[in-house]
Amino acid sequence: MEAHHICWVEKIDTESDEEYLSRARRLGSAMGVVVGRFQVGYRVSGKSDNPLPGVWIVESLPHDWDADTVQGLLRNHFADVHMLSQRRRRGDSDFFFRAAAKEDSDVVALPAEVDEDKVMFWARWAPPRRVQAQFKQVHPVASWNLRQNQVAEIVRFEPPPRRNCWERCQWPSPSSGKEGCSQRVQCA
């Protein structure tokens, strides 16, 4: 099989699983459809001249810029720009968008003018979404015997009574010059 990439298809909240699969198959290529853990995708040849779409982020844009302004900034460097979300913090805005970069690069320079100043913004691949892991709940219930006339016998374990197993030795120590040694020995 030749080199290929996988383009993941996002599921729309209102569509059923059958509609989602049929949409992915329509978008797909002759290389087939791929099923992931949470998404469905299709294979694209790695030697294709078509740029691959992906999720990108542009950070630290002016707070008053909206999605249309950002799309105008991205138009010269990306194809098929689809704005996903905006995050505002500390007077700045970050925009997440899905697009295909016209150049083969992980980071794209975006020159712009802000208040008559020339500024350079940077678009980079967005980090993967943090998906909550789905854990199987384990119930703390003991299993039971499936045969009828067999009852498991409960064996109780009682620990032996505690006692001090260490005693001072009774012979004189040559180094101390005193009666009894300074070491403790285990009793038999």
Q: How confident is the model at residue 96 (pLDDT cuts 50, 70, 90)?
A: very high
The predicted pLDDT at position 147 comes to 62
Please count the other Cβ atoms lying within 10 Å of the Cβ belonging to residue 156.
Answer: 4
Question: 60-74 as b/e, with b when 16 or more CB fall inside 10 Å?
Answer: ebeeebeeeebbebb
The answer on pLDDT for 51 being more than 80 is no
Q: Is the pLDDT of residue 183 over 80?
A: no
What confidence score (pLDDT) does residue 23 get?
84
Q: Average pLDDT of the chain? A: 76
166, pLDDT greater than 70 = no
Of the candidates 59, 77, 65, 61, which has an alpha carbon nearest to the alpha carbon of residue 127? Answer: 59
Give the pLDDT band of residue 57 (cuts 50, 70, 90): very high
Task: Name the token pair of 86.
Answer: 């905006």
pLDDT at 30 exceeding the cut of 70: yes
Assess whether pLDDT exceeds 70 at residue 77. yes
67 contact partners, CB below 8 Å, separation of at least 6: 83, 86, 95
In 3-state terms, what secondary structure has residue 130? Answer: coil
